[in-house]
Structure 1
Amino acid sequence: MNTEQQAEANVQQVKGISAIWIVPIVALLIGAWMVYFHMSNQGPVITIMFESAEGMEAGKTKIKSRHVNVGEVESIALNEAGDGVTVTARLTKDTDYMLVEDTQFWIVTPKISLSGVSGLDTLISGVYIEIAPGSSDESKDSFTALESAPVTPVGTPGLHITLNSNEEFAYSRGDPIIYKGLTVGQIEDVYFNLEERVVYYNAFIKAPYHKLITTNTRFWDVSGLSVDLNAEGITVKTGNIETMLTNGVTFDIPDGMPLGEPVVTRDYFDIFDDYQSASNARYKHSLKYVVFVSDSIRGLKVGAPVEYRGVLIGEVASVNLATADPDMMYSEAIRIPVLISLQPGRVGLPDNERGVQLMNEQNMLWVKSGLRASLKTGNLLTGSLFVELQHFDMPPLEAQETYEGYAVIPTVKDEFSQIADKLGLFVDKVNQLPLDEIAGNANTTLVNASDLLKDLQKTSNSLDQLLISAQQEQLIAELRHTLESVSTLTKDFSDGSEGYEELEVTLKSISEAMYELKPLLEQLKHQPNGLIFDSGAPNLEPKKYQEGDQ
């Protein structure tokens, strides 16, 4: 009997998923969640066009806004044209609002200028890209970077204006705009119009100073240190310390002008040479006359004042008018025509055609009654001249002279010319004198005077000799008389003479008297009181006091 029995396997089909798959499934889910989390927390990707990638490095160069990291450069590549680089960068989450049409990007590097020092932190951290969010509503993801940081960040409160100048001014980006010594704005951009040959400057005035800009505001140059020598003296002009090193513009409303209406949108303003030019620009209407000058006009310049009794009423418009007769050039009789411009607004008349008409009528009336022009020296140091109008006692003019369509105001010579003329007349009269004849007569007179002086000298010498001779004779006579007196005296006291014997007897008498007085003198020498007390009385001496004496 076969005890071994063959066992049959019980095969059953497994239903469901094995538990072993739980681990990879969980891992896959975690990976997917991480990918989703990473993608959902990433910011937008943008491209920025730069002229050069100097200092930038992919994976290291940061994008910052107000020194806060908001992104990073991912890749740098040349553009298709090869004239620049394309930088691909990714910003952080929630920065989509920054990416609008007027958003600006630029590279921050160390920079030292007259206005200050910036970007020093990049010496340690390296260069970075600065972003300045715009205010537009249009989104954008491709940008062109600025060459340098903008002078005025987008959104800064204030007023944008445009300044223009056809003078030889040279302003640069960042040059200051000054108001009474304070820096209130800057030049943002410079544009030269080739067709107009005018330089335009886009400028920005910061708030709240932008409220100072009105329709009557005037701008003028205050670059460096300006020294002006003119007919009014020496004028030194400057803005502040910054404009002494760089260029600058200032502005204000000229004296006597109304404030005008505030400017709220971009407007255009001219830049004048100085305050005086800016102030004169208010006068729109003028009346021109010609004055003929017979003297030199050296020192008379365009813009020189024209005054009436010290009141400024205009300026010199031209000193180089062509002469009507070129054949008269270099002739002594030539008169140099000078064109002057008189402004009715300066004398209180309306600054319009009506004011011009009134001024012309008044001037013509005054010219016929004695109004004359003359050149005056305004500054002896510089020799600057100006034109002065003044009334003189002159015969009335019968007709008004004109020149090249301009009315002519007659002239009189200035004071210096009159003095020079008088000196010339004096010299002429001196030259007309018979100087040769006068000189010959004077020479003869001098010769006669010389001979006379010689004769007087001889007479003086003779007189001196006579006086000396007389004095010598008188002295000899007196000396002779004195010697005779001395001789007589010596004879009187000579040995054997009567005077000698009398003198000898007198001397003997004196000798005997002195001998007799000798004992008395000896007594007085030893006892001075002997003439008062008796010399025969004993000398009394005081006794010594003893006790018991009464």
Structure 2
Amino acid sequence: MTNNKPSQENAQTAEIESNNRLSKFWIVPIVALSIGLWMIYYQWANQGPLIDIEFISASGIEAEKTKIKTKDVEIGVVKKVELKPDLSGVIVTARMKPSAVTLLREKSKFWLVRPRVSLSGVSGLSTLLSGPYITLEPSQEGQQSSEFVALENPPATAAGTPGLQITLNSDEEFSFKTGDPIIYKGLKVGEFEDMQFNIDKRIVSYNAFIEAPYHKLITDNTKFWNSSGISMELAANGIEVKTGSVETMLTNGVTFGIPEGMSAGKLVTKHASFDIYKDYDSASNKRYKLGVNFVLLIKDSIRGLSVGAPVEYRGLEIGKVIEINLPGASENDMLVDEFAIPILISIQPSRMQQPDDRIGVETVKKQTLLGVEQGLRATLKIGNIVTGGLFVDLQHYKDVEPEPLDTFLGYNVIPTTSGEFAQITQKVSGVLDNINSIPFAEMSNEATQLMHTFNVTAVTLQDTVKTLDALLVDIQDQHTSQNINKAAESLTRLLNDYSAGSKTNQELITTMQRFQATLEQLTPLLQQLNQKPNSLIFNDGTAPELEPKAFYMNEGDK
């Protein structure tokens, strides 16, 4: 029997080898993964920065939809919108493109563009279709930054606009808002951009912009004043009505210029600050910096006198009223009959052709005190009858008694005289006193008796006149009848003289016949002169034609 099992000696042992080579199947996923990782790294390495923008509200802002643009070019997109922890606003996180990194500086401005309607115009209408977006106004000032506070409204002036940035300060009771115009001679040359209120100084500061080339009008002597609406002032000079342009009448606005009499000054080339005055007069008077103060002790009524009223010398304004009823007078003396109301006035050296410095102040003070010794007196006069406004008038009077120089609360006193109104009142009072002294009752009784006597006399006179009229009628009738008879007789005699057959008639006929015969004798001569006008001077040798003439003496000689 055959044994078929292999022997152990003839059996072969299998060798096992490990295969460490990567299969070609994994090449594609690895390449794809590598590309993906590279793209992720490239995107991460080249993506723009994240920035945070603070807004008051998120109205119109949506994550992954709201774009960030500058000059209508997209430079970023909103990624996230979150509330601030104190709920005072929202924080918008946006991803910017790498190319916008250089635009993100501390002075850069962000605001939301959406439709806006205001008195300055309509803006943002393009967002009705595309939706609101955030715009960036880049700036080269400041350091790189990633946190910003958005503007509530877009700036009035775009960055890079040629012109001059200025600050206008005001402590008056009027205010302006963004977009209000700055006017120069009726032209809009600039706008208010924004405002800030200084609590410590209690003044409002406005950032404003003057466009080129009008910014060359701004000098260090330029004054700004309010030109809003319509202003009406009742002053000593009368009623003054002032208006600006139509735009400033509807909104607010200021204008500027160099007051008359001031030099142009130096051109302003960089940011500067100016004050806003309530009107042109206030701006113009600001150039008069120094003044000499005097006190007037007025015993007349001061009704119609106001602070700021002019002080004039012979019609020339040299100062103004500073204060009425100065504090310091004894209160117990107020109702005393001779109580004088102290009025503080200021005489300004610049208005008297003197330098606006201490030397000018001393010169004006000496001249005024010397004038008081020579009869300089102050009086209140009516500047306008309609308004009743008063002003202080300084004049030299020759017939006044000299008064010693006096002081009141440390101020030199200028003596006063009664004003025009007081003098008129005194004259009217005197006339009324004279009228009151007339005995009207006695005069009335005497007038009544006189009228009764006159009535009796009038009746008697009327009867006499009637009798006289009747007598005159009779006399006139008789005289008229006699004249008519005499005229008729004269006419009859005249007609008889010229009747046919009378002597006068015959003489008249004879005279007419003789006149006719004379004309017939002159007929040849007239014919000769008609044919030869010079025949009376030069004889032509021809004998005149003879024509027999008939002459009748009277009708019986025919």
Which TM-score tier does this pair reach, normalised by the shorter chain?
0.7 to 0.9
Partner-residue secondary structure (3-state), 1:43: coil
Aligned match of 1:457 in 459, 462, 486? 462
What is the aligned partner in structure 2 of residue 498 from structure 1?
Answer: none
**Partner of 2:99: helix, strand, or coil?**
coil
Change (3 A) 1:395 1:228: closer
2:86 aligned counterpart, secondary structure: coil
Matched, 1:21 2:36: no
> Aligned partners of 1:153, 1:328: CA distance in 2, in Å?
65
Counterpart secondary structure, 1:94: helix
Letter matched to residue 291 of structure 2: S
8 Å CA contact retained: 2:382, 2:420: no
- Structure-2 residue corresponding to 1:247: 252
User: Do structure 1's residue 428 and structure 2's residue 418 form an aligned pair?
Assistant: no
User: In the aligned structure 1, how far is the partner of 2:423 from the partner of 2:363?
Assistant: 34
Of 417, 439, 448 in structure 2, the residue corresponding to residue 443 of structure 1 is 448
Q: Distance in 1 between matches of 2:455 and 2:142?
A: 116
Measured after TM superposition, the shift of residue 314 of structure 1 is 0.5
Are the counterparts in 1 of residues 114 and 127 from structure 2 also a CA contact under 8 Å? yes
Equivalences for 1:538-549 in 2 at 5 Å? none
Q: CA deviation at 1:349?
A: 0.8
Question: Aligned-pair distance for 1:464?
Answer: 5.8
Query: Of residues 378, 383, 396 in structure 1, which corresponds to 2:388?
Result: 383
Q: 1:218 aligns with which of 223, 230, 234?
A: 223
Aligned to 1:307: 312
The TM-score with structure 2 as length reference comes to 0.76
3-state SS of paired residue (2:68) = strand
How far 1:190 moved relative to its partner?
2.3
8 Å CA contact 1:161–1:266 kept in 2: the answer is yes
Aligned to 1:61: 66
Partner of 2:486: none
The answer for the alignment partner of 1:102 in structure 2 is 107
Q: Does 1:113 align with 2:122?
A: no
- 1:210-250: CA deviation from partner (whole Å, max 9, x where unpaired): 44333322222112222223222333333322221222222
Q: Note if 1:355 corresponds to 2:338.
A: no
Structure 2, unaligned runs of 5 or more:
5-10, 483-558
Match of 2:323 in 1: 318
Query: Does residue 151 of structure 1 match 2:130?
Result: no
What secondary structure sits across from 2:307 in the alignment?
coil
Once the two structures are superposed, the pairs formed by residues 5-404 of structure 1 within 5 Å of their partners are 17-39=22-44, 42-136=47-141, 138-322=143-327, 324-330=329-335, 332-395=337-400, 397-404=402-409
Q: Closer, same or farther in 2 for the Cα pair 1:18/1:152, shift >3 Å?
A: same
The answer to whether the 8 Å contact 1:306/1:314 transfers is: yes
Q: Percent identity of the aligned residues?
A: 50
* SS across alignment from 2:368: helix
For 2:276, give the aligned amino acid: I
Letter paired with 1:116: G
2:42 & 2:432 partners in 1: Cα distance?
111
Please say if residues 239 and 387 of structure 2, whose CA atoms lie closer than 8 Å, have aligned partners that are also in contact: no
List structure 1 runs of 4+ shifted beyond 6 angstroms: 6-15, 465-468
1:323, 1:336 within 8 Å by CA — same for their partners in 2?
Answer: no
What is the CA–CA distance in structure 2 between the aligned matches of 1:332 and 1:396, rounded to whole Å? Answer: 22
Check 1:14–1:182 CA distance in 2 against 1; reply closer, same or farther (3 A cut). same
SS at match of 2:383: strand
Instruction: Please give the alpha-carbon distance, in whole angstroms, between the structure 1 residues aligned to 2:136 and 2:118.
Output: 22
Report how many residues are paired: 473
Q: 1:323–1:337: 8 Å Cα contact kept in structure 2?
A: no
Report the CA distance between 1:125 and its aligned residue.
1.3
State the secondary structure of the residue aligned to 2:122. Answer: strand
Q: 5+ unaligned residues in a row in structure 1: which ranges? A: 479-550
The aligned counterpart of 1:501 is none
Change in Cα spacing, 1:51 to 1:355, as seen in structure 2 (3 Å) is: same
State the distance in 2 between where 1:33 and 1:384 align.
89
* Pairwise CA RMSD: 3.3
Q: Find the counterpart in structure 2 of residue 500 from structure 1.
A: none
TM-score by length of 1: 0.77
Paired residue type of 1:308: Y
Cα pair distance change 1:159/1:52, threshold 3 Å = same
1:64-107 per-residue CA deviation (whole Å, 9 max, x = no partner) reads 11222111112222233343322221122311111222222111
Equivalent residue number for residue 543 of structure 1: none
Q: CA deviation at 1:32?
A: 3.7
Q: Is the alpha carbon distance of 1:93 and 1:465 closer, same or farther for their aligned partners in structure 2, counting shifts above 3 Å?
A: same
Going from structure 1 to structure 2, the CA distance change for 1:331 and 1:445 (only over 3 Å counts) comes to: farther
After superposition, the Cα gap between the structure-2 partners of 1:454 and 1:101, relative to the gap in structure 1 and judged at 3 Å, is: same
